[in-house]
Amino acid sequence: MNPVLLSLTVASLATLAATVPAVALGTWLARRRGGLRLAVQAVVLAPLVLPPVVTGWVLLQLFGAHGPLAALRLPFTTAAAVVAGAVVGLPLYVRAVQLAVEAVDPGLEQAAATLGASPWRVLRTVTLPLALPGVVTGALLAFARALGEFGATILVAGNLPGTTRTLPLALFTALQTPGGEAEAARWAAWSLVLSLGALALAEVLARAVARRVGTA
């Protein structure tokens, strides 16, 4: 697959893979207080503050030939690039969901509960629909982060043309090749196109969601 298509695929799958954990963790973190919450939050946010190379190294220790998860044979596959993108995108996703859930009026949730709704139903029909704009924002941030991912990807997925050479890696490789400047410029232009496209899509989605939440 060419780097543009591969980057789009990897970033989309990474965003998808991060969605369920991000919504679950974001909601849980928004509603919970105490030491366990702080510990979970620290672990979830770690990839945001760690250098991506460290994240990649940790993933390689986990999934590498001598790691505890070696049986999955993950490293140096497209799936490894997806995992790397999902892990580095997750903190941004969780944070956006968490802030949106915290902003939901607890009175509405209590009213639903008083009327006999189970906690799961309250979450599904009140909390999450109201927090949807935050979920959309989180998805965009995670997608953008996965699209730009470099350090963790090159460690855990390598730089195989067609399989794991995403846009940032293709640009880097072109710069390390004599006479590769024109190719590097082409990949940079494609990155700009993808990023602006993602922003435009997010704007459209955010408006659609805002309309829905407004009339709900």
Partner 1 sequence: MLFRSLLAVVAVVAIACGRPQAPVIHAAASTRAVVEALVADLDPRPIVDAGSTSTLVQQVQAGAGGAVLISAHPDWTAALEASGLARQVRPVASNRLVLVGPAGTHPTVDDLDRAACVVLGDPSHVPVGRYAREALTAWGRWPAVEGRVRPALDARAGAAAIAAGTCPVGVLYATDATAAGVSAGAPLPDAVQPVIRYDAVLLDPAAVALFDHLTGPAARAVWAAHGFGPP
Which residues of the shown chain bind partner 1 in the complex (CB under 8 A)? 1, 6, 9-10, 12-13, 16, 60, 64-65, 70, 73, 75-79, 82, 158-163, 175-181
Q: Which is nearer to partner 1, 9 or 195 (CB)?
A: 9
CB of 121 to partner 1, least distance (A): 23
Q: Which is nearer to partner 1, 119 or 162 (CB)?
A: 162
CB of 110 to partner 1, least distance (A): 34
Q: Which is nearer to partner 1, 10 or 122 (CB)?
A: 10
Q: Which is nearer to partner 1, 117 or 184 (CB)?
A: 184
Residues recorded for the chain: 216
Q: What 3 state SS string does the chain have?
A: CCHHHHHHHHHHHHHHHHHHHHHHHHHHHHHCCCHHHHHHHHHHHHHHHCCHHHHHHHHHHHHCCCCCCHHHCCCCCHHHHHHHHHHHHHHHHHHHHHHHHHCCCHHHHHHHHHCCCCHHHHHHHHHHHHHHHHHHHHHHHHHHHHHHCCHHHHHHCCCCCCCCCCHHHHHHHHHCCCCCHHHHHHHHHHHHHHHHHHHHHHHHHHHHHHHHHHHC
CB of 84 to partner 1, least distance (A): 14
Q: Which is nearer to partner 1, 112 or 136 (CB)?
A: 136
